[in-house]
Amino acid sequence: MKISPLQEARYEYQPKLPGMLKDGVDNISVKTGAETASVADQDKISALFPNTYGKCEITFEKGNNTAEKKKQVVGVILSGGQAPGGHNVICGLYDALKAANKDNVLLGFKGGPSGLIEDNYIEMTDEFIDEYRNTGGFDIIGSGRTKLETEHQFEIVTKVAKKHDLNAIVIIGGDDSNTNAAVLAEYMAANNTGVQVIGCPKTIDGDLKNEDIEASFGFDTATKTYSEVIGNIERDANSAKKYWHFIKVMGRSASHVALECALETQPNICLIGEEVAEKKMSLADIADYIADSVAKRSAEGDNFGVVIIPEGIVEFVPEFSTLIAEINELLAGPAGEDFNNLVDWAAKEHFIQDGLSANSMKVFALLPEFVQKQLFLERDPHGNVQVSLIESEKLLSALVADSLRRRKQHGTYHGKFSPLHHFFGYEGRCAFPSNFDADYCYSLGYNAFMLISYGYTGYLSKISNLSAPADEWVAGGMPITKMMNIERRNGKDKPVIRKALVELDGKPFTYFKEHREEWAIETCYTYPGAIQYYGPSSVCDITTKTLALEQGK
């Protein structure tokens, strides 16, 4: 197979490990910390997880390894959407296994959690692993979105584990996947299967973090990839001086990606969904906010600009969230089939008008027809509107155009407005991982083996102090239940990992807020350029602006 020069060079890159993990597995001891409690709903969570709740946080340090010496057979799966660095988690896990005992075995179950259920796997070897070191993607074993949450599924997984003599399963995924890891760990412990379950924190959206998990892997690479292209668009806008670029980026439930890209590139406008929700901004409010920037820049002769929009922005708009909830209710059950059987849009509009409240109908009527139709595209598996299919970048530019048209009628605006639209999503999910993500992910995998070797279960692999050089990183583990609370899902109370939203009093947003008025009017663009893998550490090993600000760097 022919490979690129960069890919060949990346194969040879040796990821950096935290200092306490560098001297080999035989020289790593464990320090036990305080007992933990869930972030909320402690009584309910502890009742649901009697065997794995309240365990202590732990930290690894240099010292004599007191773990039981035995052959380890470990299974690993990738779960959910791709994120740069996933391959290195598996490589770090494999290398630690083999460093402890060359007879240890790593089985990769294909296609995500379904691979465990279907017993579809491959045994990892040196030759196989070496083809994936420091590369992007999840193609080493593939991924999937099957949820491990039913008793029947757990019984099947237990049988598969027993067949292969597995003593541990590592689940590499986001908040939902690691919630499933916690539930599976509890089942395995309650039934005395002897199978440990360890999670690793993944998501480019950046919403799997808290006081313990400083960053989810993939966020660094994805935001740098998006920021490079946004910077290129800014340079083009400043050259052509005639287009307003509306750029939607990943992040349905939180706006971390949008905020980080704004900190990297200093666009004229960046919408933060969490602020929109707190201020109860309407679609008209948002359109006027953007139009203010367009008008002020036009008055200076600058009929161009850049707007960054988080993917899930419309869900943060209270009036739009209400509309979506009403649509979900309107199309639930047989009524959805009746709607789909209508032959033309006019008939469907009549159906919609009869089914929505007066306030929601007013919101619906404001929307361009293409957005109205997108609200009624194929539903998700739970029968809900697929918000990710709504072209919010086009919706907002259309509403801005309407706002500017009204201003022209009143003589308060005389400029030109020519919008262009972009959505950056899949482009960032499988990029070559940055040095940070390559190092971080390798450390997460290596550290996951240490948790296994010391007998922990229901724990998340944890690497902290991430804004410092890798040698100063701190390795350890935390019980997944510490991150959990009870939320209403599909009509039922369920234990889930709490998503981390952008903190409006946090340092990253505060910095952004202090500068955005200037950015809205002036052309203050910055151009991050491509991710650098070789050269000075100050260029190649830098973290995100978000992490640097959070940790005071």
Q: Amino acid identity, residue 208?
A: L
Per-residue pLDDT of the chain (553 residues; tens, 9 = 90+): 688 999 999 999 999 999 999 988 999 999 999 999 999 999 999 999 999 999 999 999 999 999 999 999 999 999 999 999 999 999 999 999 999 999 999 999 999 999 999 999 999 999 999 999 999 999 999 999 998 889 999 999 999 999 999 999 999 999 999 999 999 999 999 999 999 999 999 999 999 998 889 999 999 999 999 999 999 999 999 999 999 999 999 998 999 999 999 999 999 999 999 999 999 999 999 999 999 999 999 999 999 999 999 999 998 999 998 998 898 888 887 888 888 888 889 999 999 998 899 999 999 998 888 889 888 887 666 566 777 788 999 999 999 999 999 999 999 989 999 999 999 999 999 999 999 999 999 999 999 999 999 999 999 999 999 999 999 999 999 999 999 999 987 668 899 999 999 999 999 999 999 999 999 999 999 999 999 999 999 999 999 999 999 998 7
Residue 161 sits in the same domain as residue 227? no
* 475 strand-pairing partners: 463
Given this model, what pLDDT does residue 106 score?
Answer: 98
Distance from C-alpha of 354 to C-alpha of 356, rounded to nearest angstrom: 6
Closest CA to 75 of 182, 166, 149: 166
Considering the domain boundaries, does residue 191 fall inside one?
A: yes
In three-state secondary structure terms, 383 is: coil
Residue 60 sits in the same domain as residue 94? yes
Distance from C-alpha of 254 to C-alpha of 206, rounded to nearest angstrom: 8
Q: Last residue of some domain: 489, 522, 537?
A: 489
Residue 351 sits in the same domain as residue 261? yes
Considering the domain boundaries, does residue 3 fall inside one?
A: no
Considering the domain boundaries, does residue 499 fall inside one?
A: no
Residue 231 sits in the same domain as residue 357? yes
Owner of token pair 């050259």 = 239
Given this model, what pLDDT does residue 3 score?
Answer: 87
CATH number of the structural domain spanning residue 338: 3.40.50.460
Catalytically active residues, by annotation:
205
Residue 120 sits in the same domain as residue 260? no
Strand 244-249 relative to strand 269-270, pairing: unpaired
Domain count, the chain: 2
CATH number of the structural domain spanning residue 27: 3.40.50.450
Distance from C-alpha of 11 to C-alpha of 538, rounded to nearest angstrom: 22
Q: Last residue of some domain: 458, 489, 520?
A: 489
Considering the domain boundaries, does residue 4 fall inside one?
A: no
Residue 249 sits in the same domain as residue 272? yes
Residue 92 sits in the same domain as residue 236? no
Could you tell me the maximum CA-CA distance found in the chain, to the nearest angstrom? 80
Given this model, what pLDDT does residue 437 score?
Answer: 98
Considering the domain boundaries, does residue 343 fall inside one?
A: yes
The first and second tokens of residue 208, run together, are 């799997």
Residue 512 sits in the same domain as residue 463? no
Considering the domain boundaries, does residue 10 fall inside one?
A: no
Considering the domain boundaries, does residue 182 fall inside one?
A: yes
Distance from C-alpha of 507 to C-alpha of 255, rounded to nearest angstrom: 15
Residue 159 sits in the same domain as residue 124? yes
Residue 545 sits in the same domain as residue 424? yes
Given this model, what pLDDT does residue 339 score?
Answer: 87
Which range of residues forms the domain containing residue 310? 222-428+506-550
Considering the domain boundaries, does residue 196 fall inside one?
A: yes
The first and second tokens of residue 317, run together, are 């708009």
Determine the number of helices (DSSP H) and then strands (DSSP E) in the chain: 22, 15
Distance from C-alpha of 535 to C-alpha of 533, rounded to nearest angstrom: 7
Query: Sign (positive/negative) of CA torsion 57, 462, 538, 546?
Result: negative
Are residues 177 and 199 in contact, defined by beta-carbon separation less than 8 angstroms? yes
Residue 111 sits in the same domain as residue 246? no
Residue 278 sits in the same domain as residue 380? yes
